[in-house]
Amino acid sequence: MEGRFRVTTVADGFTVACLLVGSFFFLSGTVGILRFPDALTRLHAVTKADNVGLGLVVIGLIPQSASLGSAGKLLLVWAVALIASAASSYLVSSSVTSAERMREDE
């Protein structure tokens, strides 16, 4: 019986790997927000790194979900978080550029 993988072990290993890489992305997003020089570059760090980390966490948790419905709900959470991040980052960046333009007008 060697060489026969138990499905649970493979699924658990996949989950562990995805969650570890996802947490690393979250860590890099926080490091970026602390170390980058400018508000707009920090916005990049938050939006890109954190959303990739969230995506990896969702992908890692899908093998652990009980049914197809709960896996679909996890993907829905990721999609909503992506849309919210896209809208938020646009709003924050437009407020930064309008503030800079107002400061130049003075």
Partner 1 sequence: MTTFFLAVATFLLLTLLAAVHRILRGPSRADRMLTAQLFGTTGVAILLVLAAALDQRAIVDGALVFALLAMVNTTVFVRQAWKAGSE
How far, in Å, CA of 11 to CA of 7, rounded?
Answer: 6
Work out which of 6, 10, 98, 106 binds partner 1, going by CB under 8 A: 98
Structure tokens, 4: 């026969």
Decide if residue 59 touches partner 1 (CB under 8 A): no
Choosing from 6, 7, 16, 37, the residue that interacts with partner 1 (CB under 8 A) is 16
The amino acid at residue 4 is R
43 near partner 1 (CB under 8 A)? yes
17 binds partner 1 (CB under 8 A): no
Cα 5 to Cα 74: distance, rounded to the nearest angstrom: 27
Taking residue 13's Cβ as centre, other Cβ atoms within 10 Å add up to: 12
Of 8, 14, 48, 13, the C-alpha closest to 28 is: 48
Tell me the residue type at 55: G
Instruction: For residue 85, state whether it binds partner 1 (rule: CB under 8 A).
Output: yes
Question: Residues interacting with partner 1, by CB under 8 A?
Answer: 12, 15-16, 19-20, 22-23, 26-27, 29-30, 33-34, 39, 42-43, 46-47, 50-51, 53-54, 57-58, 61, 64, 66, 70, 73-74, 76-77, 80-81, 83-85, 87-89, 91-96, 98-99, 102
